[in-house]
Amino acid sequence: MNASENLFTKHEQTLKDSLEALKNRTYYSPYPENPKAYAEDADQKAKAYISSIMNNNFTEINQNNSDVYVGEEISPYLQLGIGVKYGTKSIEDYIADAESAGKTWAAQPLETRTGLLIESLERIKSRFFDIAYATMHTTGQGYMMSFQASGPHSNDRALEAIATGYRELSIHVNEADWVKPMGKFELKIKKTWKAIPRGTGLVIGCSTFPVWNTLPGLFANLIVGSPSIVKPHPKAILPIAIVIAELQKLFNEFGLPTSIVQLAPDTLASPITKNLSEHHGVKTIDYTGSSIFGEYIESLNKTVFTEKAGVNSVIIDSASDLKAVVSNLAFSASLYSGQMCTAPQNIFVPASGIKTNDGIVSFDDFVKMLTEGITGLADNPKAGAPTLGAIQSEVTLNRIKEYSESNAHTVLASKHIKNEEFADARTATPVVLVKDSSSKSEFNQECFGPILFVIKTNSTEESVSLTKELASTKGAITCGAYTTNEETRTLIENEMNAVFTPVSFNFTGAAFINSHAAFSDYHVTGGNAAGNASLISTEFIVRRFVWVGNRYA
């Protein structure tokens, strides 16, 4: 048994547990999400690492000795450039190196690839704290979200892709003696089957979740045998660079080409994404980002997997405890300042009010409760700043200001809050606007960031109709609903599922519509305009390879 086969044996139980979780859709994670579960000095070492890497070239990645370095990341907490530069090379060199390495990688047995990839997650696990601070200072996420989302939760999604790939690639035998009775004789043919990877994959990252949104596509490519080029957002490179560094180190350790995975950084002024995407050597593309560019990616004659923008809505009909509902919504809207693809934007409430155990709560009283809930969270000296994080880009900040300052329908203006740890942090609390259902043109598009519309409708039925229409035309990744009525619950579920939108009913406490769990929740259904792919469905894997059979008489 060689060293790589030993890795499969080492991680076989993790694989079995993952396959069982996939089947039963139960909670499963081998990567603790509590930082206290790790070494006591890990956090301090990570702070020292981040300090040492700032204003230096990132040399942990092999870019074939490139002497061209680029980098323009800015910390939303410091509002200063972090100064890290990354080696880059020509598109032709990226493609050539990927194709060369891909031949070696595709030739590795499935068990070898599986063992190596699960082992890589253990190596990445050792860098969770480094990745967390890198995520903070590129995206503006709070520390806990940065640790959990870019660390354990990202590893969960990667492991999910590995397990799903292993399952689909081992679904039947690789060879068989085929015998057909023909009366006086038998027709005998030896048959073999190979899963041929489509080839070099391009994974295009986003600025807000550079690891969580990248690892599923990256590891889906790797498990089927395809090399990958990761093209991160120019403003969020460091977190995924650390991940790629650990992959390359592992490949090198086991005598495999480091170019199985490559980092392709660029700048806003000199982007390379379109040229890479259109190159004939790129066979599959994973994309997370705006709908406009996502539609361009989908127009290419390639196998593509997209997550684009959507308009996420909440339907409120009735509730047993409206205070708990408001508290949940305030947190959901404030978490990472609404800079999540799953954050709620539109809240539909009947003009007649909301039925509760304590009687009817009027529309205006609900709005007051919501604004007070958001303000109370934002002003909380312990919870406010860590929950809100910082605003990733000036574009988002300007959008918040526009809706906050120049709209007659604003009932809660956004404000800057003080971050005790980072005096220069770019912060903004949610802005809340009240609209009538007839003002559809004003809330029927994604307004990325902490921007909430509370929309007065004629009835819950109209709320459902508007939410369904938005999901159908604009796309939706999540939908929240609150009702104590069984018939209303069934109506909402059927109507929203018909436009391929999942519904989270009556979430309060620690359950938030923002969160999707690996091995259980499908992230994006692939059925509406929010994206054509789902993490992690069977299709997310099987479209990356082709079964080819050979026959021998």
Locate 74 and state its tokens: 């800015």
What b/e string do you get for 412-431 counting C-beta neighbours within 10 Å, with b at 16 or more? Answer: bbbeebebeebeebbbbbbb
387 and 346 housed in the same domain: yes
243 and 94 housed in the same domain: yes
Residue of 174, 217, 228 whose CA lies nearest to 196 = 174
302 and 169 housed in the same domain: yes
User: What is d(CA 488, CA 224) in angstroms, rounded to the nearest whole number?
Assistant: 44
Give the pLDDT score at 518.
Answer: 96
In angstroms, the Cα distances linking 378 to 72, 124, 136, 324, 373 are 30, 33, 19, 17, 9
For every residue of 334-403, DSSP letters joined together read HGGGG-STT---EEEEETT-EEETTEEEPHHHHHHHHHHHHHHHHH-TTTHHHHH-----HHHHHHHHHH
Task: Look at residue 517 and give its three-state secondary structure.
Answer: coil
User: What is d(CA 57, CA 50) in angstroms, rounded to the nearest whole number?
Assistant: 12
Please report, for the domain that includes residue 81, its CATH number.
3.40.605.10
In the block, which residue shows the tokens 């309060």?
A: 508
Residue 259 DSSP one-character state: G
Q: Is residue 434 part of a domain?
A: yes
User: What is d(CA 22, CA 129) in angstroms, rounded to the nearest whole number?
Assistant: 28
Task: Locate all alpha helices (DSSP H) within 140-278, ordered by sequence.
Answer: 143-150, 152-169, 215-224, 238-253, 273-278
Give the pLDDT score at 67.
Answer: 77
- Burial of residue 110 (CB within 10 Å: 0-12, 13-18, 19+) is middle
- pLDDT single digits (tens) 220-275: 999 999 999 999 999 999 999 999 999 999 999 999 999 999 999 999 999 999 99
123 and 216 housed in the same domain: yes
Q: Is residue 112 part of a domain?
A: yes
Give the pLDDT score at 71.
Answer: 96
CB-based contacts of 288, cutoff 8 Å, min separation 6: 204, 205, 206, 209, 213, 214, 306, 307, 341
**CA angle centred on 12, ends 10 and 13, rounded to 5°:** 105
Give the pLDDT score at 65.
Answer: 66
Q: Is residue 518 part of a domain?
A: no
Q: Is residue 290 part of a domain?
A: yes
321 and 470 housed in the same domain: yes
Order across the sheet with 186-197: list the strands.
175-181, 186-197, 545-552
Handedness of CA 236, 241, 247, 248 (dihedral sign): positive
251 and 367 housed in the same domain: no
Instruction: Look up the domain containing 12 and give its range.
Output: 3-308+533-552
Locate 367 and state its tokens: 């709005």
194 and 323 housed in the same domain: no
167 and 23 housed in the same domain: yes
358 and 283 housed in the same domain: no
Q: Is residue 521 part of a domain?
A: no
Q: How many domains does the chain have?
A: 2
208 and 320 housed in the same domain: no
In angstroms, the Cα distances linking 463 to 59, 350, 419, 456, 525 are 53, 7, 38, 9, 22
302 and 206 housed in the same domain: yes
User: pLDDT of the chain along its 553 residues, tens only?
Assistant: 567 779 999 999 999 999 999 999 999 999 999 999 999 999 999 999 999 999 999 999 988 767 799 999 999 999 999 999 999 999 999 999 999 999 999 999 999 999 999 999 999 999 999 999 999 999 999 999 999 999 999 999 999 999 999 999 999 999 999 999 999 999 999 999 999 999 999 999 999 999 999 999 999 999 999 999 999 999 999 999 999 999 999 999 999 999 999 999 999 999 999 999 999 999 999 999 999 999 999 999 999 999 999 999 999 999 999 999 999 999 999 999 999 999 999 999 999 999 999 899 999 999 999 999 999 999 999 999 999 999 999 999 999 999 988 677 899 999 999 999 999 999 999 999 999 999 888 899 999 999 999 999 999 999 999 999 999 999 999 999 999 999 999 999 999 999 999 999 999 999 999 999 999 999 999 999 999 999 999 999 999 999 999 999 9
Q: Is residue 519 part of a domain?
A: no
Please report, for the domain that includes residue 464, its CATH number.
3.40.309.10
320 and 233 housed in the same domain: no
Q: How big is the chain by its Cα radius of gyration, in Å?
A: 25
**3-state SS record for 34-97:** CHHHCCCCHHHHHHHHHHHHCCCEECCCCCCCCCEEECCCEECCCCEECCCEEEECCHHHHHHH
Give the pLDDT score at 440.
Answer: 85
Q: Is residue 527 part of a domain?
A: no
Please give the model's pTM, rounded to 2 decimal places: 0.96
User: What is d(CA 151, CA 32) in angstroms, rounded to the nearest whole number?
Assistant: 9
CB-based contacts of 292, cutoff 8 Å, min separation 6: none
Q: Is residue 406 part of a domain?
A: yes
Order across the sheet with 359-361: list the strands.
318-319, 354-356, 359-361
Residue of 103, 228, 202, 113 whose CA lies nearest to 162 = 113
